[in-house]
Structure 1
Protein backbone atom coordinates (compact mmCIF):
# COMPACT_ATOMS: atom_id res chain seq x y z
CA UNK A 1 0.00 0.00 0.00
CA UNK A 2 2.74 2.46 1.01
CA UNK A 3 4.76 1.49 -2.08
CA UNK A 4 1.76 2.23 -4.32
CA UNK A 5 1.24 5.62 -2.66
CA UNK A 6 4.92 6.47 -3.07
CA UNK A 7 4.89 5.53 -6.76
CA UNK A 8 1.79 7.65 -7.34
CA UNK A 9 3.46 10.60 -5.62
CA UNK A 10 6.65 10.13 -7.68
CA UNK A 11 4.65 9.94 -10.90
CA UNK A 12 3.06 13.29 -10.05
CA UNK A 13 6.52 14.77 -9.33
CA UNK A 14 8.00 13.55 -12.63
CA UNK A 15 8.85 16.73 -14.55
CA UNK A 16 9.77 15.13 -17.88
CA UNK A 17 6.93 13.03 -19.34
CA UNK A 18 9.38 11.27 -21.68
CA UNK A 19 10.39 9.16 -18.67
CA UNK A 20 6.92 7.95 -17.71
CA UNK A 21 8.09 4.52 -18.92
CA UNK A 22 10.09 4.21 -15.68
CA UNK A 23 6.79 3.36 -13.97
CA UNK A 24 6.01 0.47 -16.34
CA UNK A 25 7.49 -2.57 -14.59
CA UNK A 26 8.82 -5.21 -16.99
CA UNK A 27 7.60 -8.67 -15.99
CA UNK A 28 10.29 -11.31 -15.51
CA UNK A 29 13.22 -8.91 -15.90
CA UNK A 30 15.44 -7.06 -13.43
CA UNK A 31 18.54 -4.88 -13.62
CA UNK A 32 21.55 -5.21 -11.35
CA UNK A 33 23.10 -1.78 -10.80
CA UNK A 34 26.34 -0.41 -9.38
CA UNK A 35 28.12 2.96 -9.31
CA UNK A 36 31.68 4.03 -8.51
CA UNK A 37 31.95 7.47 -6.95
CA UNK A 38 34.44 9.94 -5.50
CA UNK A 39 33.22 9.53 -1.91
CA UNK A 40 31.17 7.32 0.39
CA UNK A 41 29.16 10.38 1.43
CA UNK A 42 26.07 10.25 -0.78
CA UNK A 43 25.43 13.98 -0.23
CA UNK A 44 28.66 15.02 -1.97
CA UNK A 45 29.84 12.01 -3.97
CA UNK A 46 30.34 12.50 -7.70
CA UNK A 47 29.70 9.74 -10.19
CA UNK A 48 32.75 8.20 -11.87
CA UNK A 49 31.20 5.14 -13.49
CA UNK A 50 27.83 3.45 -13.77
CA UNK A 51 27.17 -0.13 -14.81
CA UNK A 52 24.06 -2.24 -15.09
CA UNK A 53 23.23 -5.70 -16.34
CA UNK A 54 19.85 -7.25 -17.09
CA UNK A 55 18.63 -10.41 -15.40
CA UNK A 56 16.10 -12.31 -17.50
CA UNK A 57 14.83 -15.49 -15.94
CA UNK A 58 17.90 -17.53 -14.99
CA UNK A 59 20.26 -15.58 -17.25
CA UNK A 60 22.52 -12.62 -16.58
CA UNK A 61 22.88 -10.83 -19.93
CA UNK A 62 26.53 -9.77 -19.68
CA UNK A 63 26.91 -9.50 -23.46
CA UNK A 64 24.53 -6.52 -23.53
CA UNK A 65 25.54 -4.85 -20.25
CA UNK A 66 25.54 -1.09 -19.73
CA UNK A 67 28.80 0.53 -18.63
CA UNK A 68 29.91 4.14 -18.83
CA UNK A 69 32.63 6.37 -17.40
CA UNK A 70 31.28 9.69 -16.11
CA UNK A 71 33.22 12.96 -16.14
CA UNK A 72 33.14 14.49 -12.62
CA UNK A 73 33.33 18.21 -11.90
CA UNK A 74 36.33 17.73 -9.59
CA UNK A 75 39.35 15.49 -10.10
CA UNK A 76 39.19 12.24 -8.09
CA UNK A 77 41.41 12.45 -5.02
CA UNK A 78 44.14 9.95 -4.17
CA UNK A 79 42.09 8.17 -1.49
CA UNK A 80 39.28 7.65 -3.98
CA UNK A 81 41.63 6.38 -6.69
CA UNK A 82 43.04 3.76 -4.29
CA UNK A 83 39.58 2.21 -3.95
CA UNK A 84 38.33 1.98 -7.54
CA UNK A 85 41.47 2.66 -9.57
CA UNK A 86 39.84 5.38 -11.67
CA UNK A 87 42.44 8.10 -12.14
CA UNK A 88 41.72 11.67 -13.25
CA UNK A 89 43.00 10.85 -16.75
CA UNK A 90 40.64 7.85 -16.91
CA UNK A 91 37.52 9.95 -16.37
CA UNK A 92 38.45 13.35 -17.83
CA UNK A 93 37.09 12.25 -21.21
CA UNK A 94 34.09 10.48 -19.68
CA UNK A 95 30.50 11.18 -20.61
CA UNK A 96 28.75 14.22 -19.12
CA UNK A 97 26.52 13.14 -16.21
CA UNK A 98 23.24 14.16 -17.87
CA UNK A 99 24.06 12.13 -20.99
CA UNK A 100 25.16 9.11 -18.95
CA UNK A 101 21.97 9.22 -16.89
CA UNK A 102 19.71 9.51 -19.93
CA UNK A 103 21.36 6.38 -21.36
CA UNK A 104 20.99 4.59 -18.02
CA UNK A 105 17.28 5.39 -17.80
CA UNK A 106 16.73 4.03 -21.31
CA UNK A 107 18.58 0.83 -20.36
CA UNK A 108 16.81 0.30 -17.04
CA UNK A 109 13.27 1.24 -18.04
CA UNK A 110 10.74 0.07 -15.46
CA UNK A 111 12.70 -3.02 -14.38
CA UNK A 112 13.17 -3.59 -10.65
CA UNK A 113 16.72 -2.85 -9.48
CA UNK A 114 19.05 -5.26 -7.70
CA UNK A 115 22.20 -4.29 -5.80
CA UNK A 116 24.40 -4.64 -2.75
CA UNK A 117 23.81 -1.66 -0.44
CA UNK A 118 21.77 -0.27 -3.32
CA UNK A 119 20.40 2.56 -1.17
CA UNK A 120 23.71 4.43 -1.50
CA UNK A 121 23.77 4.16 -5.31
CA UNK A 122 20.14 5.27 -5.55
CA UNK A 123 20.83 8.25 -3.27
CA UNK A 124 23.72 9.43 -5.46
CA UNK A 125 21.82 8.85 -8.70
CA UNK A 126 18.78 10.60 -7.24
CA UNK A 127 20.82 13.70 -6.47
CA UNK A 128 21.79 13.90 -10.13
CA UNK A 129 18.38 12.94 -11.51
CA UNK A 130 16.09 15.24 -9.55
CA UNK A 131 17.27 18.45 -11.32
CA UNK A 132 16.81 16.66 -14.66
CA UNK A 133 13.49 14.82 -14.31
CA UNK A 134 12.12 15.90 -10.92
CA UNK A 135 12.57 12.53 -9.16
CA UNK A 136 15.09 9.81 -8.44
CA UNK A 137 14.65 6.32 -9.82
CA UNK A 138 11.12 5.13 -8.93
CA UNK A 139 11.89 1.47 -9.66
CA UNK A 140 11.30 -1.22 -7.08
CA UNK A 141 14.59 -1.96 -5.27
CA UNK A 142 15.82 -5.40 -4.21
CA UNK A 143 18.62 -5.26 -1.65
CA UNK A 144 20.96 -8.28 -1.72
CA UNK A 145 22.09 -7.89 1.90
CA UNK A 146 18.47 -7.81 3.13
CA UNK A 147 17.50 -10.91 1.13
CA UNK A 148 20.62 -12.69 2.39
CA UNK A 149 19.77 -11.75 5.99
CA UNK A 150 16.28 -13.21 5.56
CA UNK A 151 17.77 -16.38 4.10
CA UNK A 152 20.23 -16.86 7.00
CA UNK A 153 17.66 -15.87 9.64
CA UNK A 154 15.36 -18.58 8.32
CA UNK A 155 18.19 -21.12 8.69
CA UNK A 156 19.43 -19.95 12.10
CA UNK A 157 16.88 -17.73 13.89
CA UNK A 158 18.50 -15.22 16.23
CA UNK A 159 22.06 -15.92 15.06
CA UNK A 160 24.44 -13.14 13.98
CA UNK A 161 24.48 -12.71 10.19
CA UNK A 162 27.67 -11.42 8.55
CA UNK A 163 26.50 -9.19 5.69
CA UNK A 164 29.96 -8.30 4.37
CA UNK A 165 30.45 -9.07 0.70
CA UNK A 166 33.17 -11.74 0.66
CA UNK A 167 31.60 -14.07 3.26
CA UNK A 168 28.18 -13.60 1.68
CA UNK A 169 29.48 -14.63 -1.76
CA UNK A 170 31.46 -17.54 -0.35
CA UNK A 171 28.38 -18.84 1.47
CA UNK A 172 26.27 -18.57 -1.68
CA UNK A 173 29.10 -20.11 -3.77
CA UNK A 174 29.15 -17.12 -6.09
CA UNK A 175 32.48 -16.37 -7.83
CA UNK A 176 33.99 -13.11 -6.56
CA UNK A 177 35.00 -10.84 -9.44
CA UNK A 178 37.46 -8.00 -8.78
CA UNK A 179 35.79 -5.47 -6.48
CA UNK A 180 35.20 -1.74 -6.97
CA UNK A 181 34.70 -2.08 -10.71
CA UNK A 182 31.12 -1.06 -11.44
CA UNK A 183 30.48 -3.70 -14.10
CA UNK A 184 32.08 -6.50 -12.08
CA UNK A 185 30.08 -5.47 -9.03
CA UNK A 186 26.82 -5.33 -11.00
CA UNK A 187 27.45 -8.81 -12.45
CA UNK A 188 28.41 -10.24 -9.06
CA UNK A 189 25.28 -8.78 -7.44
CA UNK A 190 23.19 -10.33 -10.23
CA UNK A 191 24.76 -13.74 -9.59
CA UNK A 192 24.18 -13.36 -5.84
CA UNK A 193 20.53 -12.49 -6.51
CA UNK A 194 20.14 -15.62 -8.65
CA UNK A 195 21.76 -17.76 -5.95
CA UNK A 196 19.28 -16.38 -3.40
CA UNK A 197 16.37 -16.80 -5.81
CA UNK A 198 17.33 -20.48 -6.25
CA UNK A 199 17.03 -20.79 -2.45
CA UNK A 200 13.59 -19.18 -2.45
CA UNK A 201 14.68 -15.64 -1.56
CA UNK A 202 14.50 -13.88 -4.92
Structure 2
Protein backbone atom coordinates (compact mmCIF):
# COMPACT_ATOMS: atom_id res chain seq x y z
CA UNK A 1 0.00 0.00 0.00
CA UNK A 2 2.84 2.43 0.83
CA UNK A 3 4.22 2.01 -2.67
CA UNK A 4 0.84 3.03 -4.10
CA UNK A 5 0.68 6.17 -1.95
CA UNK A 6 4.27 7.34 -2.39
CA UNK A 7 5.76 8.25 -5.79
CA UNK A 8 8.56 5.93 -6.92
CA UNK A 9 12.11 7.09 -6.31
CA UNK A 10 12.79 7.61 -10.00
CA UNK A 11 9.98 10.15 -10.14
CA UNK A 12 11.96 12.62 -8.00
CA UNK A 13 15.00 12.21 -10.23
CA UNK A 14 12.92 12.69 -13.37
CA UNK A 15 11.24 15.80 -11.93
CA UNK A 16 14.62 17.28 -10.97
CA UNK A 17 16.00 16.72 -14.47
CA UNK A 18 12.90 18.26 -16.02
CA UNK A 19 13.18 21.36 -13.81
CA UNK A 20 16.89 21.71 -14.54
CA UNK A 21 16.24 21.43 -18.28
CA UNK A 22 13.71 24.27 -18.06
CA UNK A 23 15.73 26.43 -15.65
CA UNK A 24 15.84 29.95 -17.05
CA UNK A 25 19.28 30.81 -15.63
CA UNK A 26 21.78 27.93 -15.34
CA UNK A 27 23.80 29.96 -12.82
CA UNK A 28 21.27 28.78 -10.21
CA UNK A 29 21.64 25.04 -10.85
CA UNK A 30 23.20 24.76 -7.39
CA UNK A 31 19.73 25.02 -5.83
CA UNK A 32 19.07 21.49 -7.12
CA UNK A 33 22.19 19.98 -5.53
CA UNK A 34 21.78 17.60 -2.57
CA UNK A 35 21.37 19.81 0.53
CA UNK A 36 24.13 19.93 3.16
CA UNK A 37 23.43 17.47 5.95
CA UNK A 38 21.56 18.92 8.94
CA UNK A 39 21.35 22.42 7.47
CA UNK A 40 18.31 24.60 6.84
CA UNK A 41 17.49 28.26 6.18
CA UNK A 42 14.79 30.08 8.12
CA UNK A 43 13.36 33.03 6.22
CA UNK A 44 10.78 35.76 6.50
CA UNK A 45 9.56 38.63 4.33
CA UNK A 46 7.88 41.91 5.17
CA UNK A 47 5.43 43.12 2.55
CA UNK A 48 3.19 46.06 1.74
CA UNK A 49 0.13 43.85 2.27
CA UNK A 50 -1.24 40.32 2.16
CA UNK A 51 -2.28 40.12 -1.49
CA UNK A 52 0.25 37.86 -3.23
CA UNK A 53 -0.81 39.21 -6.64
CA UNK A 54 -0.55 42.94 -6.06
CA UNK A 55 1.45 43.67 -2.89
CA UNK A 56 5.24 43.88 -2.79
CA UNK A 57 8.15 42.66 -0.70
CA UNK A 58 9.99 45.41 1.17
CA UNK A 59 12.30 43.36 3.44
CA UNK A 60 13.82 39.88 3.35
CA UNK A 61 15.73 38.14 6.13
CA UNK A 62 17.19 34.67 6.33
CA UNK A 63 19.34 32.82 8.86
CA UNK A 64 21.10 29.47 8.56
CA UNK A 65 20.48 26.59 10.96
CA UNK A 66 23.16 23.93 11.41
CA UNK A 67 22.11 21.01 13.58
CA UNK A 68 20.67 22.61 16.71
CA UNK A 69 22.56 25.88 16.25
CA UNK A 70 21.09 29.06 14.79
CA UNK A 71 23.92 30.78 12.95
CA UNK A 72 22.96 34.41 13.52
CA UNK A 73 26.41 35.40 12.28
CA UNK A 74 25.44 33.81 8.94
CA UNK A 75 22.37 35.83 8.14
CA UNK A 76 20.99 37.84 5.26
CA UNK A 77 19.10 41.12 5.73
CA UNK A 78 17.85 43.03 2.70
CA UNK A 79 15.65 46.04 2.18
CA UNK A 80 13.75 46.00 -1.11
CA UNK A 81 12.59 49.07 -3.00
CA UNK A 82 8.90 48.68 -3.94
CA UNK A 83 7.61 50.00 -7.24
CA UNK A 84 4.38 51.44 -5.86
CA UNK A 85 5.43 52.86 -2.52
CA UNK A 86 4.40 51.96 1.04
CA UNK A 87 0.96 52.63 2.50
CA UNK A 88 0.41 54.16 5.93
CA UNK A 89 -1.42 50.99 6.98
CA UNK A 90 1.54 48.73 6.26
CA UNK A 91 3.95 51.14 7.99
CA UNK A 92 1.95 50.71 11.21
CA UNK A 93 2.64 46.97 11.04
CA UNK A 94 6.32 46.69 10.05
CA UNK A 95 7.46 50.30 10.77
CA UNK A 96 9.30 50.56 7.45
CA UNK A 97 8.59 53.93 5.88
CA UNK A 98 8.91 54.77 2.21
CA UNK A 99 12.13 56.69 2.87
CA UNK A 100 13.51 53.64 4.73
CA UNK A 101 13.19 51.43 1.66
CA UNK A 102 13.88 54.08 -0.99
CA UNK A 103 17.52 52.97 -1.23
CA UNK A 104 16.66 49.28 -1.07
CA UNK A 105 17.59 46.76 -3.74
CA UNK A 106 15.46 46.09 -6.80
CA UNK A 107 13.46 42.93 -6.17
CA UNK A 108 15.28 40.89 -8.85
CA UNK A 109 18.67 41.62 -7.26
CA UNK A 110 17.31 40.88 -3.79
CA UNK A 111 15.96 37.45 -4.73
CA UNK A 112 19.24 36.58 -6.50
CA UNK A 113 21.12 37.30 -3.28
CA UNK A 114 18.59 35.25 -1.34
CA UNK A 115 18.88 32.25 -3.67
CA UNK A 116 22.68 32.31 -3.37
CA UNK A 117 22.36 32.45 0.43
CA UNK A 118 19.88 29.55 0.57
CA UNK A 119 21.69 27.26 -1.85
CA UNK A 120 19.94 23.90 -1.79
CA UNK A 121 19.04 23.98 1.91
CA UNK A 122 15.43 23.25 2.94
CA UNK A 123 13.39 26.30 3.92
CA UNK A 124 11.91 26.86 7.38
CA UNK A 125 9.30 29.43 8.32
CA UNK A 126 6.04 30.34 10.03
CA UNK A 127 3.24 30.41 7.45
CA UNK A 128 6.00 29.97 4.91
CA UNK A 129 3.57 29.48 2.04
CA UNK A 130 2.84 33.21 1.88
CA UNK A 131 6.51 34.24 1.88
CA UNK A 132 7.38 31.70 -0.81
CA UNK A 133 4.44 32.80 -2.94
CA UNK A 134 5.62 36.41 -2.75
CA UNK A 135 9.19 35.43 -3.56
CA UNK A 136 8.17 33.16 -6.41
CA UNK A 137 6.31 35.99 -8.09
CA UNK A 138 9.68 37.75 -8.43
CA UNK A 139 11.71 34.60 -9.10
CA UNK A 140 9.54 33.16 -11.86
CA UNK A 141 10.54 35.75 -14.51
CA UNK A 142 14.22 35.03 -13.73
CA UNK A 143 14.13 31.22 -13.61
CA UNK A 144 10.89 30.20 -15.32
CA UNK A 145 9.95 28.42 -12.07
CA UNK A 146 9.79 28.99 -8.33
CA UNK A 147 12.04 27.98 -5.46
CA UNK A 148 12.65 24.20 -5.62
CA UNK A 149 13.77 23.64 -2.02
CA UNK A 150 11.87 21.48 0.45
CA UNK A 151 9.70 23.58 2.79
CA UNK A 152 9.15 22.98 6.50
CA UNK A 153 6.22 24.76 8.12
CA UNK A 154 6.77 25.51 11.82
CA UNK A 155 3.05 25.78 12.59
CA UNK A 156 2.53 22.27 11.16
CA UNK A 157 5.34 20.88 13.32
CA UNK A 158 3.78 22.54 16.34
CA UNK A 159 0.32 21.20 15.46
CA UNK A 160 1.70 17.65 15.25
CA UNK A 161 3.48 18.14 18.59
CA UNK A 162 0.30 19.30 20.34
CA UNK A 163 -1.89 16.68 18.61
CA UNK A 164 0.28 13.88 20.01
CA UNK A 165 -0.50 15.22 23.50
CA UNK A 166 -4.29 15.01 23.05
CA UNK A 167 -6.37 12.19 24.46
CA UNK A 168 -8.05 9.78 22.00
CA UNK A 169 -11.37 11.55 22.63
CA UNK A 170 -9.90 15.00 21.95
CA UNK A 171 -8.42 13.69 18.71
CA UNK A 172 -11.79 12.36 17.61
CA UNK A 173 -13.61 15.64 18.26
CA UNK A 174 -10.82 17.63 16.59
CA UNK A 175 -9.93 19.77 19.59
CA UNK A 176 -8.72 23.22 18.58
CA UNK A 177 -4.99 23.90 18.73
CA UNK A 178 -3.96 27.55 18.95
CA UNK A 179 -1.39 28.19 16.22
CA UNK A 180 -0.82 31.88 16.89
CA UNK A 181 2.91 32.58 16.85
CA UNK A 182 2.97 34.20 20.29
CA UNK A 183 1.11 31.20 21.77
CA UNK A 184 3.48 28.78 20.07
CA UNK A 185 6.60 30.56 21.34
CA UNK A 186 5.32 30.92 24.91
CA UNK A 187 4.20 27.29 25.04
CA UNK A 188 7.64 26.16 23.89
CA UNK A 189 9.34 28.39 26.47
CA UNK A 190 11.08 30.47 23.81
CA UNK A 191 11.84 34.21 23.89
CA UNK A 192 9.55 36.49 21.92
CA UNK A 193 11.30 39.16 19.89
CA UNK A 194 9.53 42.19 18.47
CA UNK A 195 7.26 40.87 15.72
CA UNK A 196 6.91 42.08 12.11
CA UNK A 197 10.65 42.54 11.78
CA UNK A 198 11.94 40.16 9.11
CA UNK A 199 15.11 39.12 10.95
CA UNK A 200 13.36 38.73 14.32
CA UNK A 201 10.64 36.61 12.73
CA UNK A 202 13.19 34.43 10.90
CA UNK A 203 15.18 33.87 14.11
CA UNK A 204 12.06 33.06 16.13
CA UNK A 205 10.90 30.55 13.51
CA UNK A 206 14.37 28.99 13.64
CA UNK A 207 14.20 28.75 17.45
CA UNK A 208 10.81 27.05 17.28
CA UNK A 209 12.02 24.65 14.58
CA UNK A 210 15.06 23.59 16.62
CA UNK A 211 12.99 23.16 19.80
CA UNK A 212 10.32 21.10 18.04
CA UNK A 213 12.95 18.83 16.48
CA UNK A 214 14.42 18.26 19.93
CA UNK A 215 11.01 17.48 21.40
CA UNK A 216 10.38 15.03 18.57
CA UNK A 217 13.75 13.38 19.20
CA UNK A 218 15.25 14.20 15.79
- For residues 54-133 of structure 1, the aligned pairs below 5 Å read 54-133=64-143
Out of 23, 26, 31, the position equivalent to 1:22 is 31
SS in 1 for 2:73: helix
CA positional deviation for 1:11: 2.9
Out of 7, 12, 22, the position equivalent to 2:21 is 12
- Which sections of structure 2, spanning at least 5 residues, go unmatched? 1-6
Q: Quote the residue 2:175 is aligned against.
A: 159
Provide, for residues 63-109 of structure 1, a one-character-per-residue CA deviation record: whole Å limited to 9, x for no partner.
12100000010110011111100000000010111111111111000
CA positional deviation for 1:10: 3.1
SS in 2 for 1:64: strand
SS in 1 for 2:142: helix
Q: How many residue pairs were aligned?
A: 202
1:122–1:201: structure 2 CA closer, same or farther, 3 Å change rule? Answer: farther
Q: Quote the residue 1:36 is aligned against.
A: 46
CA positional deviation for 1:15: 1.1
Out of 209, 212, 215, the position equivalent to 1:193 is 209
SS in 2 for 1:35: strand
CA positional deviation for 1:121: 0.3
Q: Tell me the TM-score normalised to structure 1 length.
A: 0.95
1:125–1:169: structure 2 CA closer, same or farther, 3 Å change rule? Answer: same
CA positional deviation for 1:159: 2.4
SS in 2 for 1:63: strand
Distance 2:57 2:18 in 1: 27
Distance 2:72 2:26 in 1: 30
- Which sections of structure 1, spanning at least 5 residues, go unmatched? none
CA positional deviation for 1:13: 2.9
Distance 1:8 1:86 in 2: 41
Provide, for residues 37-59 of structure 1, a one-character-per-residue CA deviation record: whole Å limited to 9, x for no partner.
01111111211000000000111
CA positional deviation for 1:201: 7.0
Misfit runs of 4+, over 6 Å: none
Moved more, 6-15 or 161-170: 6-15
Distance 2:99 2:61 in 1: 19
Say whether the 8 Å CA contact 1:114–1:142 is kept in structure 2: yes
